[in-house]
Structure 1
Amino acid sequence: MDPALVTRHHVSEPDEAPACAPQPLAFLLTAYRILGQSLSLHRSARAAIRLPVPALAEAAALILVVGPQRAHWWTTDGRAAVTGAERMPVRSADAPPDGLPDWIQAALTVADGPWVRPVRSGRWVLPDGAEHDGHGVVVRLPCDHLCQGVLVLLRDADRPAFDDADRSLAVQYAEPVGRAVTAALLYRDQVQVADALRAALRPAPLPSVAGLDMATAYRPAREAMHVSGDIVHVEPLAAGGVLCIVGDVCGKGVDAAVAGGLLRQSMLILCRVTGQPLDILAVLNDASFDTGSAAATQFTTVVVGSVRATPGGGALLRLAAGGHLPPLVVRRTGEVEAVHIGGMMLGADVPGKFAEAVVWLAPGETCVLYTDGVTEAREPAGEMFGPDRLAALLTGHADAPAAVVAERIEQRVVDWLAGAHHDDIAVLVVRALPAGPLRGGAR
């Protein structure tokens, strides 16, 4: 780039600058108000290049380089503005940084302090390929820790050049633009992290296992960013059958969800070493307990079970529990039996004391594992859903497939809540099928 193109121009910091005239002050107040309304990067960028046209320039461009291979740009031209309800058109795209015009690439390489640089008269190519015949300024944005960014303001050739007051106003305007860009980029990063976290922590699809019909219901607390501290997972065993875990990590939101995810990953490893639920609980407890800091211990109630279909139909469940709610067994008669196992929650002591129970399901019978988000759900007046309503619901669906039972539990609880806040909800339904080919389905 020709050294004569731009020259460094010192502009006093805002607190050193003289008081703005009413018109510049009104412009800046409007800019702060409008640019503070959205966390959308695209919406903020469009507003950032529309606001200074035509007050400061006939054409404006915003260019952000957010990585070695990624740049975003937005341009608008006041001369292309249309009348009526439509607004000034904005063109935008992503491009590799080396695909930007040379003079903009050069402006982006400056990395020290806030600055404004005048652009001499000429024909300047903008990122969208359009040429502007005129002069203007390039202002660096104060968002260097997230990206390199510049705001380009170009005037027509017959309009006066930017004077000191114009350049000062341009630098002051870059402040709300930089704030809006920074907030939007941070929000976008947080959304991407949250989406990745939700995808990683949601229950995995259930395996298809001959002789078993399984389904889950999973609903995080409404205020918990759509991630849950409840655990529900089923993993096939190499020797046949499955290992399942249903648990409830104390707390809600990201911390509880991460702790639950770690427990689930630990179980995935352990099930390759042993299929014994009691042994798995003991190891999980050792991993949960922090002898150095009680505050750092992650308390969890949990049921770990191995489930195997038997050759003549039906299924055998070996369930080990640590302080969790009793599983419910639905017999073919509609009778509901609570399996009180006992045991202490994970993280309470080392070594932990856990209990185990063996449950036999005849063909057509069902076992339901659930978290307290089901039974402790409260309707707006404060009454809990409770174990009796859950048992009555299961009695009424004794012959239903697992997917229907899981869906009915979730829907009945949601109806009971009537929009009230609730705890995380997780349900696993295991139904034994008659001997023969796989029937039923997993949800």
Structure 2
Amino acid sequence: MDLGFLIKDPRGRTELRLGGATTLEQRLAFLNDASTRIGSTLDLAQTCREVLDVAVPRCADAGGIMVQERLITEGEFPVRPTDGTALVRRVATAVAVENPFDWDRAFPVGEVAVYPPYLPQGQAMATARTVLVQRLDQNVGDENARAFGRDVIAKILTGCSLLVAPLLARGNVLGFFVLVREPCSEPFRSADVALVEELAARTAICIDNARLYARERRTALALQSSLLPAALTAPPGLEVAHRYLPASDLAGVGGDWFDVIPQARERTTLVVGDVMGHGVRAAAAMGQLRTATQTLASLDLDPAELLYRLDRVAEQLHLEQIATCLCARYDRAAGTVQIACAGHLPPMLVHPHGTVETLPVVPGPPLGISSERYELCEFALPAGGLLVLYTDGLVEGREWDIDEGLAKLRGLLTGPPLGIERICDVVIRAQATQTERDDIALLLVKAL
């Protein structure tokens, strides 16, 4: 059964029900309780479940929340039609009845449907006004059953009291909130309308917040997929593995990047960079620098010359954030790697026998500070040697300083050789336990 279908104990209806004799203080206490329990997350489905968990059985014997389909799939406000073409999805249902599985069959969670304007639900959507039906007669029950092709709907709705409140946010109808009381229960009265409308208004705000979060995340993930390589193809003579872990759980993107760029004459340019900060702004700056790096690499420049020109590009871009970069070029025929550094942490080399060395590259200033030149360093990269390039988020954090982080990384890399995908997993898992951290990029390149 779907998690969005909540079954409550019907025995609680008598003692919990807010009826016509409910005092103002009791209603205010109910709304206060609802405010503390609704919107605990930015997940739309969870928000809807929380609302119904509050409303049933205190307000009704059964309830459901329908949200416009385009709002869920695209995060956009759809136009509110008045001709019965509003496409909505049932996000959650709750019941406190003796026959809960009839309600599950009648109103399945996840169903996408259109409520014609002659039904109370369609009227609420079309007019943006609450609709109260004290008792549904047989004709209305049959109309609901015919509209959805399920006779069980007429069976359980006929004789019920129905209250449908539109979910309004920013002047738009997000969907509707429907509450049902069975024939054996006291029907809804006009006094109930204000209470339910207030609950619907708070629900709509939470749903809209969830919509904005989901849209922001979709945008950020689309940006990330366009800026970072979806997959790196290992050039001949190299085995490559990589990991990217953004610090921002909300946006899901950051300012770190990496690249493996094959070149002529069995050469390969390796790049790892870091735009300070994280989130969409850092990612946008990163995308500009990564594109420039790929273009410059196509000119077959050595790493020092590439960084010199990239520094000029960064200066012209007027980046607000500081950026660092490490560029290496592996020459398979010579068995060597040339490296230049623009304010970045030095790479590590894991020798075939398992010892680890931090390569003594000469650090230059970060990008965009108009450096005169960057110094080129050259090292041997024998078959079986593993070059480790990374950003500072991997070795620096609140739990330890950078020297401790570098020592920890060397310890993780030292020892019997492992597959490089396994090494990536071990290193990232050890670092990701930090509660507060920066973006992390890790690039491993093994000479074959």
Q: So what's the TM-score if we normalise by structure 2?
A: 0.70
Name the SS for the 2:127 alignment partner.
coil
The C-alpha deviation readout for 1:197-236, integer Å capped at 9, x for no partner, is: 5555666433222222333455555889764433222123
The C-alpha deviation readout for 1:4-50, integer Å capped at 9, x for no partner, is: xxxxxxxxxxxxxxx96234333323332332444432233234345
CA distance in 1, matches of 2:236, 2:260: 14
Shift of the 360–101 alpha-carbon distance from structure 1 to 2, 3 Å rule, reads farther
CA shift, 1:95, in A, is 1.2
Name the SS for the 1:109 alignment partner.
helix
Letter in 2 for 1:31: A
2:362 matched residue in structure 1 = 341
1:242 matched residue in structure 2 = 268
2:322 matched residue in structure 1 = 299
Q: So what's the TM-score if we normalise by structure 1?
A: 0.70
Could you tell me whether the CA contact under 8 Å between 1:336 and 1:394 is conserved in 2?
A: no
* 2:122 maps to 1:105: yes
Name the SS for the 2:168 alignment partner.
coil
1:384 matched residue in structure 2 = 403
2:176 matched residue in structure 1 = 150
Shift of the 180–383 alpha-carbon distance from structure 1 to 2, 3 Å rule, reads closer
1:4 matched residue in structure 2 = none
CA shift, 1:251, in A, is 2.6
Shift of the 274–173 alpha-carbon distance from structure 1 to 2, 3 Å rule, reads same
CA RMSD of aligned residues (A): 4.3
CA distance in 1, matches of 2:172, 2:61: 29
Could you tell me whether the CA contact under 8 Å between 2:391 and 2:441 is conserved in 1?
A: yes
CA distance in 2, matches of 1:330, 1:337: 9
Shift of the 172–279 alpha-carbon distance from structure 1 to 2, 3 Å rule, reads same
The C-alpha deviation readout for 1:150-183, integer Å capped at 9, x for no partner, is: 2233455687764432222232232222233223
Of 313, 337, 340, 1:320 maps to 340
Letter in 1 for 2:320: T
The C-alpha deviation readout for 1:315-336, integer Å capped at 9, x for no partner, is: 3433333222334456668584
2:10 matched residue in structure 1 = none
Map 1:347-358 → 2, pairs under 5 A: 347-349=368-370, 353-358=373-378
Name the SS for the 1:142 alignment partner.
strand
* Residue correspondences, number: 396
Letter in 2 for 1:429: L
2:49 matched residue in structure 1 = 46
1:35 matched residue in structure 2 = 38
CA distance in 2, matches of 1:23, 1:171: 16
1:116 matched residue in structure 2 = 130
Shift of the 347–23 alpha-carbon distance from structure 1 to 2, 3 Å rule, reads same
* 2:27 maps to 1:24: yes
Could you tell me whether the CA contact under 8 Å between 1:308 and 1:317 is conserved in 2?
A: yes
Name the SS for the 2:324 alignment partner.
strand
Could you tell me whether the CA contact under 8 Å between 1:288 and 1:346 is conserved in 2?
A: yes
Of 204, 219, 236, 1:210 maps to 236
Name the SS for the 2:178 alignment partner.
strand
- Give structure 1 stretches of 5+ with no counterpart: 1-18, 434-443
CA distance in 2, matches of 1:60, 1:387: 56
Could you tell me whether the CA contact under 8 Å between 1:298 and 1:347 is conserved in 2?
A: no
CA shift, 1:309, in A, is 1.4
Instruction: Report the structure, 1 or 2, having the larger helix content.
Output: 2
- Give structure 2 stretches of 5+ with no counterpart: 1-21, 71-77, 79-85
Shift of the 285–186 alpha-carbon distance from structure 1 to 2, 3 Å rule, reads same
Percent identity (aligned) = 27
